[in-house]
């Protein structure tokens, strides 16, 4: 009975996501339900909850700032026409299999690797829309790009996972890259299927599309592995995704990169290279308020906004109001979902759910990726997933003859992929695409329609991982 009650907040949030209620309602109700069950059913202490919430305030403020910068940059690029100019250069031939895979296996993973925190959606989704995909398909293609999650924002979640498992970072990054292969391949196949539906492709040609998608995913997975080995874990995702972007760009543009995109790329370049430089400058120092500011993508997103406005050289009437409205609809719900994950942890709910599954013995191996994906669903963060469930996964895995490196790698990969169905990411994709969906010929974008694809994709991925965990991981030595 306790386990059933512990699952109530999650089920409530899922149920409310399928309704047309305002974006802030599901996380607020979920938080209240989690507090009530944590205090009155699971005997959590008020101090535990307040400490957990207090400890997360910095993260929530950072996320609000990052989303604010990303939203404003996306809006100003659309307002000035620079986004369309850049998208035209990227796609060359419009909405195609190549442009879809370039976004899902290249551009979006690159942005996710450099910035994290949903900026990849804020930048990638409008670009994918500009290619000519319907809003619904553009949202799904962009969500598939989150597959690079373990290396998002230069991999702090993977670093935490390595520390919790007591493993060297490079070797743990390699293990995560190996475990993540099924998700990357599935991402490529799903993206190819979406592109095929857009092109009206069926029969043998559809099989060809899917084969290309699978190949694209395999190449990205191998590039991540090699980059981990040669360059280290923090930059592996960015390097691999950058190479994939260039490869697909050469395919889409038939080998011709000139003429270039002109000044339209400058604001994005400020965001990307500024974030990389900020992280390199701050990394040798202990964490402090100034290092957090220097390393934050928010600073460079707003700098990119300044560059875009300087290039435009005309009044931007209504831009600030439009960006602020979108920030309210995306940033606030995202912060509330982070709070939901924090309360789930502080209220002993996450621990209760994980421990109940751990009593299943060897059968737990099939559920190990589900536990990780559940963490991704609740926190929309690989770091949060590893902090929440990592120690439990390692402890139970050790009892079942699985090396801590592989237990944590499974948790890391499944947790990051689980964010494709997390309320925070779904809400972000929904808010960014619903306006465009009212003006195109595709199906209207709703949270339920997005979940109707991301949940089955996640379920199939966890099934593959469960089979892998049961048959391959017991007794397997660490890398």
Q: Where are the domains of the chain?
A: 2-471
| Buried b or exposed e, range 373-411, using 16+ CB within 10 angstroms | bbbbbbbbbbbbbbbbbbbbbbebbeebebbbbbbbbbb
Q: 140 Cβ partners below 8 Å, 6+ apart?
A: 190, 194, 450, 453, 454
pLDDT of the residue at 464: 98
CA angle 66, 67, 68 (to 5 degrees): 90
pLDDT of the residue at 116: 73
Q: 173 Cβ partners below 8 Å, 6+ apart?
A: 150, 151, 155, 158, 162, 228, 232, 233, 236
Q: In whole angstroms, give the CA distance from residue 30 to residue 418.
A: 18
Question: Which one, of 173, 147, 151, lies nearest residue 162 by Cα?
Answer: 173
Q: In whole angstroms, give the CA distance from residue 268 to residue 266.
A: 5
Distances (CA, A) of 368 to 175, 348, 394: 16, 19, 10
Q: 412 Cβ partners below 8 Å, 6+ apart?
A: 150, 157, 158, 161, 176, 179, 372, 382, 385, 386, 390
- 153: phi > 0 → left, psi -120 to 50 → alpha, else beta; which? left
Retrieve residue 291's tokens. Answer: 């290092």
Q: In whole angstroms, give the CA distance from residue 226 to residue 236.
A: 8
pLDDT of the residue at 93: 64
> 158-162 long-range CB contacts below 8 Å, 24 or more apart?
158/233, 158/382, 158/412, 159/233, 159/234, 160/383, 160/386, 160/387, 160/390, 161/382, 161/386, 161/390, 161/408, 161/409, 161/411, 161/412, 162/408
Distances (CA, A) of 50 to 39, 54, 328, 388: 12, 6, 25, 17
Neighbours of 443 (CB within 10 A): 12
Q: In whole angstroms, give the CA distance from residue 122 to residue 65.
A: 13
Q: What is the pLDDT along the chain (479 residues), one digit of tens a residue?
A: 788 888 888 888 878 877 778 878 888 998 899 899 988 888 788 888 888 888 778 777 887 888 888 888 888 888 888 877 887 787 776 789 999 999 999 999 998 888 776 778 988 998 899 888 999 999 999 999 999 999 987 788 898 889 888 899 899 999 999 999 999 999 999 999 999 999 999 989 999 999 999 999 999 999 999 999 998 888 899 999 999 999 999 998 888 777 777 888 888 888 888 888 887 888 788 878 888 888 888 888 899 899 989 888 887 778 888 888 878 877 788 788 778 878 877 888 877 877 777 778 888 899 999 999 988 887 788 887 887 788 788 888 888 899 999 999 999 999 999 999 998 899 889 988 988 887 888 888 999 999 999 999 999 999 999 999 999 999 999 98
Question: Which one, of 100, 331, 319, lies nearest residue 195 by Cα?
Answer: 100
């Amino acid at each position: 009975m306790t386990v059933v009650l512990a699952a109530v907040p999650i089920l409530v949030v899922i149920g409310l996501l399928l309704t047309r209620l305002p974006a802030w309602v599901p996380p607020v109700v979920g938080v209240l339900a989690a507090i009530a069950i944590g205090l009155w059913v699971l005997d959590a202490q008020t101090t535990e909850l307040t400490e957990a919430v207090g400890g997360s305030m910095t993260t929530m403020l950072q996320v609000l700032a990052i989303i604010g910068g990303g939203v404003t940059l996306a809006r100003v690029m659309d307002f000035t026409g620079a986004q369309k100019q850049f998208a035209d250069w990227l796609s060359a031939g419009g909405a195609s299999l190549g442009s879809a895979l370039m976004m899902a296996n290249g551009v979006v993973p690159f942005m996710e690797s450099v910035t994290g925190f949903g900026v990849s959606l804020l930048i990638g989704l409008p670009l994918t829309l500009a290619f000519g995909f319907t809003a619904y398909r553009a949202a799904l293609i962009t969500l598939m790009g989150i597959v690079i999650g373990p290396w998002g924002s230069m991999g702090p979640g993977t670093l935490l996972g390595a520390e919790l498992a007591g493993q060297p970072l490079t070797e743990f990054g390699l293990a995560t890259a190996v475990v993540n292969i099924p998700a990357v391949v599935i991402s490529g196949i799903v993206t190819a299927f979406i592109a095929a539906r857009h092109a009206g492709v069926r029969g043998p040609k559809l099989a060809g599309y899917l084969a290309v998608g699978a190949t694209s995913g395999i190449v990205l997975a191998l590039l991540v592995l090699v980059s981990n080995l040669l360059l280290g874990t923090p930059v592996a995702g960015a390097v691999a995704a950058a190479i994939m972007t260039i490869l697909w760009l050469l395919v889409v543009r038939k080998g011709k990169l000139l003429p270039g995109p002109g000044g339209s790329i400058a604001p994005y370049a400020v965001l990307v290279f500024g974030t990389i430089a900020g992280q390199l400058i701050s990394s040798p120092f202990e964490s402090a308020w100034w290092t957090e500011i220097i390393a934050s993508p928010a600073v460079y997103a707003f700098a990119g906004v300044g560059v875009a406005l300087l290039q435009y050289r005309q009044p931007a009437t209504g831009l600030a109001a439009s960006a602020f409205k979108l920030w309210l609809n995306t940033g606030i719900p995202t912060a509330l979902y982070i709070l939901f994950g924090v309360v789930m942890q502080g209220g002993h709910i996450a621990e209760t759910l994980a421990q109940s599954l751990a009593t299943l013995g060897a059968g737990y191996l099939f559920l190990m990726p589900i536990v990780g994906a559940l963490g991704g669903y609740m926190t929309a963060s690989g770091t949060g997933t590893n902090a929440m469930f990592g120690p439990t996964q390692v402890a139970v895995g050790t009892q079942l003859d699985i090396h801590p490196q592989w237990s944590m790698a499974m948790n890391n990969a499944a947790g990051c992929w689980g964010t494709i169905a997390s309320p925070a990411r779904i809400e972000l994709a929904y808010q960014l695409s619903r306006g465009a969906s009212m003006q195109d010929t595709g199906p209207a974008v709703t949270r339920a329609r997005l979940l109707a694809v991301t949940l089955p994709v996640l379920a199939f991925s966890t099934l593959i991982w469960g089979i892998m965990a049961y048959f391959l991981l017991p007794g397997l030595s660490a890398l």
